[in-house]
């Protein structure tokens, strides 16, 4: 086993590494920053953005840290004049192919823009725009996901995510060279594809080329994240609610997943968890128990009163028609424990086997 663990050197520092790891993984553990745009820990390394190129002793060319496998005694350099020049020109090329703001920086978006952050750290070469003929899908009427071709760097994180993580394959790289774009079959709107509108493509996009239609712009500076558990089903995905405004007027403006590797959902969400948050502030939302009175209207009540009213009503049915006149259906939004309790009420309290769960059909 010992031969699987060995030391490598990064910028002169000895780092413990394991066979099969990449330079990027070892560096990250050691707190050494190797910038990247196309890497996502949930995906196979693509080595396509070229931002993470490092010097590997003995190799003539710069090599991608995200994909380069470590071996014993390997010597890596992540900062040098050569790498600095590489970054300046590479970022310059990216900027020549990107929508810029009035200061000449990649535009900020509601989904961030990591290229902007890189460009602020290393002054890119000022190159003329290349005006790449990259097609978008402006007529796509899906309600959630928007693709901005002028912000796309073709790192293919979205298409790889759709394939490798979701196995949905709704989007693809299409065309070639400078015409390469993110497409659907027939350039149809996402609603007419296999897309499940999970929005994972937005989540993985590093430059805001994919944004939420409901939240396309950067949130105000005082926006804060509130961690919660999604209640649409029993999986227990963690959500970060992006809350804007102060007490009383605060609203959820966007929902994202915690980063990959931190919670049970590993950075992923479904259409409901990510996009179906409008109910939170809906005027018709019921926020307290209601009991229908003799007058036929619903009246606010306490939980104790409501539960007592339900128990009484169920008891009367059983008394009059027998236990099997009752049936219990629990919601797919319940957890396993809640479903268990529901069948306990059905069988042990009321004495009927008429128990069902809505997602069991």
Partner 1 sequence: MRKKGAQRERILHLLEEEGGVTEDAVRRISAETGVPEADIWGTGLFYTLISKPGKRVRVCDGLSCRIKGADELFERLAEQGKECERVSCLGQCDRAPATLDENLEQVCYGGVERGVMPDDPSLPMNLGGPRVDSYASLEKAKEIGSDAVIAEIEAAGLQGRGGAAFPAHIKWKGVRGQAETERYVICNADEAEPGTFKDREIILRQPHLLLEGLAIAAHAVGAKNVAIYIRGEFTSERRMIEKAIEEAGDKISDLDWKIYNGHGAYICGEETALIESMEGKRGMPRLKPPYPTEYGFRGKPTLMHNVETAACVPAIVERGGEWFKGLGRSEPGTKLYCVSGHVNRPGVYELPLGVTLDELVEVAGGYDGTPVAFSPGGPSSGFLPISARDVPLDFKSLANAGSMLGSAGLVVLNDTVDMVMATKWQLDFFERESCGQCAPCRIGTRYLRRQVDSFLADGDPDSLEFAGDVGWEMEEGSICGLGMVAAKPLESAMKHFPEVFEERSSE
Tokens 């004495």 label which residue? 351
From 123-131, 259-267, 268-276, 330-338, span contacting partner 1 (CB under 8 A): 123-131
Q: In this complex, which beta carbon is closest to partner 1, that of residue 124 or of residue 208?
A: 124
Alpha carbon 198 to its chain centroid, in Å, reads: 8
Contact (Cβ atoms closer than 8 angstroms) between residue 159 and residue 173: yes
Candidates 18, 72, 164, 222; binder of partner 1 (CB under 8 A) is: 164
What 3 state SS string does 164-219 have?
Answer: HHCCCCCCEEECCHHHCEEECHHHCCHHHCCCCCCCHHHHHCCCCCEEECCCCCCC
Candidates 50, 225, 333, 356; binder of partner 1 (CB under 8 A) is: 50
Q: How far apart are the first and last CA of the chain?
A: 49
From 170-178, 200-208, 228-236, 309-317, span contacting partner 1 (CB under 8 A): 170-178
Candidates 24, 94, 144, 328; binder of partner 1 (CB under 8 A) is: 94
Determine which helix (DSSP H) or strand (DSSP E) holds 25, and give its type and residue range. Answer: helix 23-29
* CA dihedral angle for residue 20, residue 24, residue 30, residue 32, rounded to 10 degrees: 160
- Contact between 183 and partner 1 per CB under 8 A: yes
- Contact between 353 and partner 1 per CB under 8 A: no
- Contact between 44 and partner 1 per CB under 8 A: yes
Q: In this complex, which beta carbon is closest to partner 1, that of residue 67 or of residue 314?
A: 67
> At 150, is the secondary structure helix, strand, or coil?
helix
- Contact between 8 and partner 1 per CB under 8 A: no
From 1-9, 88-96, 198-206, 349-357, span contacting partner 1 (CB under 8 A): 88-96
From 100-108, 127-135, 206-214, 316-324, span contacting partner 1 (CB under 8 A): 127-135
- Contact between 179 and partner 1 per CB under 8 A: yes
Candidates 100, 105, 127, 271; binder of partner 1 (CB under 8 A) is: 127
Candidates 48, 74, 119, 237; binder of partner 1 (CB under 8 A) is: 48
- Contact between 11 and partner 1 per CB under 8 A: no
Which distant-in-sequence residues (6+ apart) come within 8 Å of 36 by Cβ? 24, 49, 51, 52, 65, 66
Q: How far is CA 213 from CA 61, 82, 130, 181, 249, in A?
A: 42, 41, 27, 20, 22
Side-chain-side CA neighbours of 359 within 13 Å: the count stands at 10
CA 49 – CA 65 distance, rounded (Å): 11
From 7-15, 73-81, 153-161, 279-287, span contacting partner 1 (CB under 8 A): 153-161
- Contact between 350 and partner 1 per CB under 8 A: no
Candidates 15, 23, 119, 154; binder of partner 1 (CB under 8 A) is: 154
- Contact between 190 and partner 1 per CB under 8 A: no
- Of 184, 180, 248, 244, the residue nearest 215 (C-alpha): 244
Q: In this complex, which beta carbon is closest to partner 1, that of residue 160 or of residue 274?
A: 160
- Contact between 194 and partner 1 per CB under 8 A: yes
Candidates 11, 28, 77, 96; binder of partner 1 (CB under 8 A) is: 96
Side-chain-side CA neighbours of 50 within 13 Å: the count stands at 15
- Of 242, 241, 246, 249, the residue nearest 223 (C-alpha): 242
- Contact between 90 and partner 1 per CB under 8 A: yes
Size of the site for partner 1 (CB under 8 A): 52
Give residue 288's region: left, alpha or beta (phi > 0; psi -120 to 50): beta
Contact code string over 56-75 relative to partner 1, x by CB under 8 A: -----xx-x--x--------
- Contact between 352 and partner 1 per CB under 8 A: no
- Residues near partner 1 (CB under 8 A) are 44-45, 47-50, 53, 61-62, 64, 67, 82, 85-86, 88-90, 92-94, 96-97, 125, 127-128, 130-132, 153-154, 159-160, 163-164, 169-180, 183-186, 193-194
């Amino acid at each position: 086993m010992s031969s699987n663990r060995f030391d490598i050197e990064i910028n002169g520092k000895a780092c413990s590494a394991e066979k099969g790891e990449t330079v990027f993984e070892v560096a990250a553990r050691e707190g050494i920053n190797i910038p990247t745009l196309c890497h996502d820990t949930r995906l196979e390394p693509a080595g396509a953005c070229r931002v993470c190129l490092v010097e590997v002793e003995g190799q003539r060319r710069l090599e991608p840290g995200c994909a380069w496998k470590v071996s014993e005694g390997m010597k890596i350099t992540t900062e040098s004049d050569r790498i600095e020049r590489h970054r300046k020109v590479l970022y310059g090329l990216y900027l020549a192919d990107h929508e810029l703001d009035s200061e000449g920086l990649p535009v900020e978006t509601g989904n961030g823009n990591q290229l902007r952050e890189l460009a602020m750290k290393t002054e890119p070469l000022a190159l003329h725009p290349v005006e790449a003929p990259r097609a978008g899908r402006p007529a796509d009427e899906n309600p959630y996901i928007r693709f901005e071709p002028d912000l796309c760097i073709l790192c293919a994180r979205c298409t790889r995510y759709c394939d490798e993580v979701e196995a949905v394959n709704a989007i693809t790289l299409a065309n070639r060279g400078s015409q390469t774009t993110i497409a659907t079959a027939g350039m149809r709107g996402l609603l007419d594809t296999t897309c499940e509108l999970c929005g994972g493509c937005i989540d993985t996009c590093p430059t805001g080329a994919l944004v939420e239609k409901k939240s396309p712009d950067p949130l105000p500076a005082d926006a804060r994240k509130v961690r919660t558990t999604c209640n649409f089903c029993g999986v227990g995905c963690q959500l970060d609610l992006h809350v804007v405004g102060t007490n009383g007027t605060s609203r959820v403006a966007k929902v994202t997943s915690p980063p990959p590797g931190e919670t049970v959902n590993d950075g992923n969400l479904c259409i409901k968890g990510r996009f179906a948050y409008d109910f939170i502030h809906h005027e018709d939302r019921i926020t307290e128990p209601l009991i229908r009175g003799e007058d036929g209207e619903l009246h606010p009540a306490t939980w104790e009163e409501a539960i007592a009213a339900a128990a009484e009503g169920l008891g009367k049915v059983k008394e009059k028609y027998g236990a099997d006149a009752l049936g219990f259906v629990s919601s797919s939004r319940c957890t396993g424990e809640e479903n268990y309790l529901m069948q306990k009420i059905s069988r042990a309290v009321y004495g009927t086997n008429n128990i069902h769960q809505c997602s069991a059909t």
